[in-house]
Structure 1
């Protein structure tokens, strides 16, 4: 799913288990990506069809291979033939530090040092390609370099020879804003759109604006950004609620946009001076319960349940009670009505509160908005068309616009937000950190 989402930047994506491969399929597509997530070898029988191995070495179209079973391709092709065609030998390769794991902490790509922070005991390692030397072997291009901190040595993290690109791991686990996933995200252009002109652009938004926000502060920000000619998004929550009076001396409080005409006037002023209106939930919290903090708008999840464990980690618990397409659509409809009552335009962009919702909810958002600007959750079962498993998912963020597996355009949020204080085992994130990630 993660690779399919990224490839959705370039066009229509077809994703299948490799067991469903039939002869000639690689030549029906611009490029092929094989995700070696299941190890085959020893007592584990190989489930890859022989036709796939044959077509990979025969095609002239780009093929990218991630992680496991590249040695099976060499064995199926003939090791000598593989060496002569590609210039390296997967059967003589090994995972870094002779099998020990958790030692690769840096990947360098295009002179940028990227982090790799996989916890010890959770790391499957990175394959160290055995590149051939001597006359007659084709050149192997080293696309990115891994640093083995246990020995202080470098080795190829990604290589290319001919039309075959190999990446020594599946780089979607334990990612961050400065992670080696950036290298893989960029490499997709080589096989899917190599003529793309390089551009470096930024998107900015102001988050958690609600009827409780300070109009004077927002107007000052608007004037500054207009003076700098910087367009931006404004994430507006149409209803502010504090059901337990956490910030109101113990008295419950709920405020709508209509009840704050000065704020509404400020929002209209912002829209006239470079802002784009975005919807950020209905109340950005869930009922009268702590989810996970205090039930206050902007603090809590709205479309997903969560709690804080004894180690101060936020733990995702699954969809909210009563989650359904009707429930999610009702929240959206109520929120849009509040914008209309306040005389504001209909927002066409959506950001999910705290970046968490069920697969059902995401499909509802897709029916109501042109695009989402956010990070998202993607659930097991989605690619195969079966019911999404609410307890098995991957979180993902993008460096460019994609069309994801929910069929929705997603605008990127990959730099993170300013956070001056550490919380829930997340360190403070200061302006210098944002700039470094950019």
Structure 2
């Protein structure tokens, strides 16, 4: 029957309602079909046509249709209600506090840096001052507290609770989410609502990242030897053409060569596949033209399918589609990459990953047409649900703790615990194996979830070994991307 997703649209920040709805839809796709529409369009009885409904109250006091309030209170379908306008539901039923066992009291704007779920503290960005709903009373004989917000002084109050058919989450869980965030609790709560019989299992993935014709064959072989000895299947993302358009790494002399010109690298890639590796197409050149996009114009440094720059505060800022962008242009890049794999005597991969996880809506359409699967995190743009011209200036990114079919229409293999970065860059802190292992530990709250990492071969084997062993010790089983 699928999931109905309703979202707010009014106010100065009304466009965020659609953004949150896209993220909810992506997660809901794990469980089947969905439809998303503005809440204002709801008509009486619609809820009966769906297995469940998710309402995202992103706009304070946006009018919720009385028909929807009535249908929610009828209790015939599970409802997940996020954040605002719950007062309209309670006003519709004077008996709500006794029927459901709780009543709201107002937003608590205390500093909250954690949400405790299943005994695990999930992180929350403390700068998020939007407030979390607090409660006048909670009767725990009628309502179950699913998660608690933990204030800076250690005191707690309900963050999410369930009574009868209603699951209420006291804030928008998609705002400021990161890899260890309270967002993970919502990803798991959806199992209760949409697939309660799902058994618990925890699987892990390893992806070797940014391998091009300029790679060191010895490093690739060493990585393959370790993972094979540890019985860990893995993927290898390959851009098959190396371009240093400005000679940044060659004394000012431009370079441009493909895999066929580097037989030692091709041999190493074959060696990797013989030891459990699967090749993934990672763009064609992993850079764009001779532009600093945002760094150097050299492969693996830069974005290929999106424009970006580094601002005065050392942040990478996304600028939008590249000049000349279109679905046909993106398809030509993919075709160029495929020809380079073929020229090197390698099979063309059947999975695609966008360089630096960034592309335009037409580029995602090109990937969907050419590949049955992507293996990345996506960007999602204004008007992709609402219709009309896609606005690439308003967007959000999302990672997934399990596979989804995202709103671009692609099956997406998850990558959700990040990669090792020994040094800080662009205002991002260093990330060492302990950080990835910690992210995997928190992801255990997702009952059928993944710990999926990427790793650069130039870092050597030691960091990789530490991470693999730490994740495995948590109870994860490593599988191949093809098994997702």
Smaller-chain TM-score range?
over 0.9
Q: Give the distance between the partners of 1:416 and 1:262, measured in 2 at CA.
A: 29
Q: How do 1:326-341 residues align onto structure 2 when only pairs under 5 Å count?
A: 326-341=328-343
Retained in 1: the 8 A contact 2:146–2:159? yes
Q: SS state of the match for residue 305, structure 2? A: coil
Contact 2:75–2:164 under 8 Å retained in 1: no
Residue 309 of structure 2: aligned partner: 307
Deviations 1:290-317 (A, max 9, x none): 0010011000011111111111111111
Q: Among 230, 239, 244, which residue is 1:237 paired with?
A: 239
Aligned residue runs from structure 1 range 25-424, under 5 A: 25-40=46-61, 46-78=62-94, 81-90=95-104, 93-96=105-108, 100=109, 103-119=111-127, 122-133=128-139, 138-149=141-152, 151-424=153-426
TM-score by length of 1: 0.94
Structure 1 residue 130 displacement after superposition: 2.6
Aligned counterparts of 1:290 and 1:309: Cα–Cα separation in 2:
13
- Looking at structure 2, the residues matched to 382 and 391 of structure 1 have their Cα atoms a distance apart, in angstroms, of 13
Q: Measure how far apart 1:384 and its partner are.
A: 2.0
Structure 2 match to 1:22:
43
Please give the alpha-carbon distance, in whole angstroms, between the structure 2 residues aligned to 1:399 and 1:143.
19
CA separation in 2, counterparts of 1:179 and 1:241? 37
Which blocks of at least 5 consecutive residues in structure 1 are unaligned? Answer: 41-45
d(CA) in 2 for partners of 1:84, 1:181: 29
Q: What is the total number of aligned residue pairs between the two structures? A: 419
Deviations along 1:230-268, one digit per CA (max 9) or x if unpaired, are 111100001011111111121111120100111111111
Change in CA separation of 1:182 and 1:233 when aligned onto 2, cut-off 3 Å: same
Q: Distance in 2 between matches of 1:373 and 1:131?
A: 45
Match for residue 43 of structure 1?
Answer: none
User: Which digits, 9 at most, give the CA deviation of each residue in 1:157-187, with x for residues without a partner?
Assistant: 0000111100000111111111111111111
- Deviation of residue 428 (structure 1)? 0.3
> C-alpha deviations, 1:382-407, integer Å up to 9, x for none?
01232211100011000000011111
Q: Matches of 2:388 and 2:155 in 1, distance apart?
A: 45
Q: Distance in 2 between matches of 1:204 and 1:129?
A: 43
- Alignment TM-score, normalising by the size of structure 2: 0.85
Note if contact 2:383-2:391 (Cα within 8 Å) is conserved in structure 1: yes
Tell me how far apart the structure 1 counterparts of residues 229 and 388 of structure 2 sit (CA, whole Å): 50
CA distance in 1 between partners of 2:247 and 2:39 (Å) = 55
In 2 relative to 1, CA 373–198 (structure 1 residues): closer, same or farther, beyond 3 Å? same
Q: What is the SS of the residue equivalent to 2:36? A: coil
Q: Distance in 2 between matches of 1:306 and 1:235?
A: 22
Q: 2:205, 2:388 → 1: CA distance?
A: 35
For the 8 Å contact 2:96–2:103, the answer to whether it is kept is yes
Q: Displacement of 1:416 after TM fit?
A: 0.5
Change (3 A) 1:132 1:421: closer
**Are the aligned partners of 2:358 and 2:378 in contact in 1 as well (CA < 8 Å)?**
yes
Matched, 1:9 2:15: no
Displacement of 1:228 in angstroms is: 1.1
Consecutive unaligned residues in structure 2, runs of 5 or more: 1-21, 441-484
CA distance in 2 between partners of 1:382 and 1:203 (Å): 30
Deviation of 1:85 (Å): 1.4
Aligned residue for 1:391, secondary structure, equals strand
Higher RCO (CA < 8 A, seq sep 6+): 2
How far apart, CA to CA, are the structure 2 residues paired with 1:16 and 1:138?
35
- The structure in which a higher percent of residues are strand is 2
The question of whether the paired residues in 2 share the 8 Å contact of 1:39 and 1:68 is answered with yes
Task: State the distance in 1 between where 2:377 and 2:156 align.
Answer: 32
For residue 424 of structure 1, give the secondary structure of its aligned residue in structure 2: coil
